[in-house]
Structure 1
Amino acid sequence: MNRPRVCTVVSCGESKQDLDAGETVPARELYSSSVHTCKDRYGRHSDGYYIMSAEYGLVHHRTEIAEYDRTLDNMTDTRVRAWGRDVADDLRDVLAEGDFDAVVLIGSETYVGALVPHFERLPADVLTPWQTSEFVTGVGRGMSWCNDELNWPENVSSVDEIGEVVSEG
């Protein structure tokens, strides 16, 4: 049996590189926290890797972006719902075009929560290990989960090995 094709989507981070005006870097390099480093390590072991950015929406990890100062935590509920719908629409297209079996969403309840109403529209199994794993009881445990090579998509033989399936596309 072939291993599942997994797309990973991680949330952006508040700590960012200090870039000059007009300067850009690949999205995965913009965020500078230790939490993002762990999420990035996991994402790089996936068949597809994207970042859900409060400013730019869903971006491929190699897409060049500029520094920004925006978070979902400071947006109105209406704006967060619109952001979630837009990101889910883009993610649906990515998952269909890439023929992914599953998408792993790694991020805070705010970011992952904004996508929950759209899970059933996604054409792949949706996994939210930071919200559903009994092991992940906080950010530190989430970082440990991301760093554990046994959890990396390239090392699993089924979607069930990654984490609890929230919905099936």
Structure 2
Amino acid sequence: MTPPVPVERGLIIAGCSRRKKPTEKPIPALDLYEGGCIPGLRDRLGDDTRFRQRIRIISALYGLLHADSPVLNYDRRLTNLADADALRQHVAPHLNDQLGAVTHVLALVEPLYLFALEPVVHRLDAIRLYWIAAPRDWHRAAAVLDTWGWT
């Protein structure tokens, strides 16, 4: 049996979703998004601040968001490589700063968003990356979290 992944050693990066809660005031990112794997993450880990601190959401508009980053509803999609490259340049310095002791990353992102997560890919010698390219595939994501011991 694989030993559990300590909370401070894991990081979850989920892609934003088109479906969002209607709101006229900023709310935490993890609470805003209604599509993809976000509802599953929120249901499974959202009530525990230790785990919330280990969740990031990559947004086509805002870049890398902490689960509790306050955001407004918006409509912006990542549709081409040029936009993904611009997002990568914006996200990379922030992500690099957050990877310190991380040994496991679960990336629940479509391919263009993975391109923006270049710092993780450059550290594959030290980080075990679990990439799920179909963010709606919550069952696969949950299975990874099961192996980490994150419940």
Task: Normalising by structure 1, report the TM-score.
Answer: 0.68
Report the residue type matching 1:87 in the other structure: V
Change (3 A) 1:84 1:40: farther
**CA distance, structure 2, for counterparts of residue 110 and residue 42 of structure 1:** 26
Structure 2: runs of 5+ lacking an equivalent:
none
Q: Using the alignment, how far apart are the partners of 2:62 and 2:36 within structure 1? A: 22
Identity of aligned residues (%): 25
- Superposed displacement of residue 57, structure 1: 0.4
2:56 to 50, 56, 62: 50
Partner of 2:93: 89
- RMSD (Å) for aligned C-alpha atoms: 2.9
Structure-2-length-normalised TM-score: 0.75
Q: Select the structure of larger CA radius of gyration.
A: 1
Give 1:109's aligned residue: 111
TM-superposed deviation, 1:119 = 1.9
Structure 1 unaligned blocks of 5 or more? 132-137, 156-169
SS in structure 2 at match of 1:113: helix
Counterpart secondary structure, 1:128:
strand
Structure 2 Cα separation of the partners of residues 114 and 10 of structure 1: 12
- Structure-2 change in CA distance of 1:2 and 1:37 (3 Å): closer
Q: Is 1:146 the counterpart of 2:146 in the alignment?
A: no
Letter in 2 for 1:58: L
Instruction: Determine the C-alpha separation between the residues in 2 that align with 1:60 and 1:114.
Output: 16
Give the helix-richer structure, 1 or 2: 1
Distance 1:116 1:81, change over 3 A: same
Corresponding residue to 1:15 among 19, 24, 28: 19
Is the counterpart of residue 127 in structure 1 residue 133 in structure 2? no
**1:103 and 1:94, CA in 2 relative to 1: closer, same or farther beyond 3 A?**
same
Partner of 2:68: 62
> What do residues 73-108 of structure 1 show as CA deviations (whole Å, max 9, x unaligned)?
2xx532320211221221110112xx2222221111
Other structure's SS at 1:154 match: coil
Task: Number of aligned residue pairs: give it.
Answer: 142
Structure 1 runs of 4+ off > 6 angstroms?
none
